Amino acid sequence: MAVLYREGGSMEEKDGQPDQIDQGEEKKREIDLNNLFPEKGYDLNRLFPDEGTKKLLYELRRNKRDIDRFIKSLHVEED
């Protein structure tokens, strides 16, 4: 038996298994490190199979791109 909490503080009991989250919602998309870093000559997906590490590397790449874009905009404004 599972106890579910609702907004407002009320509780509801539910028998059976907990609600299954759709895998499409839970996992937005699988990160392919080989596409993210194509200049590397080895299989990054095999080197870093952990989804947490893949997400960290994806965020790192995205942040670097955003920082580079910001710095480039600073140079444009100086001219």
Residue 34 to residue 58: CA distance in whole angstroms:
11
Domain count along the chain: 1
Residue 66 lies in a domain: yes
Mean pLDDT of the chain, nearest integer: 75
pTM of the model: 0.55
Residue 33 lies in a domain: yes
Helical spans, DSSP H, in the chain: 23-26, 33-36, 44-47, 51-78
Q: Could you report the per-residue pLDDT of 31-62, keeping only the tens digit for each?
A: 999 998 888 888 999 999 999 999 999 999 99
Residue 35 to residue 55: CA distance in whole angstroms:
14
Residue 48 lies in a domain: yes
Residue 73 lies in a domain: yes
Higher pLDDT, 4 or 35: 35
Residue 54 lies in a domain: yes
Q: What is the domain range of residue 79?
A: 29-79
For residue 78, what pLDDT band results from cuts at 50, 70 and 90? low
Residue 11 lies in a domain: no
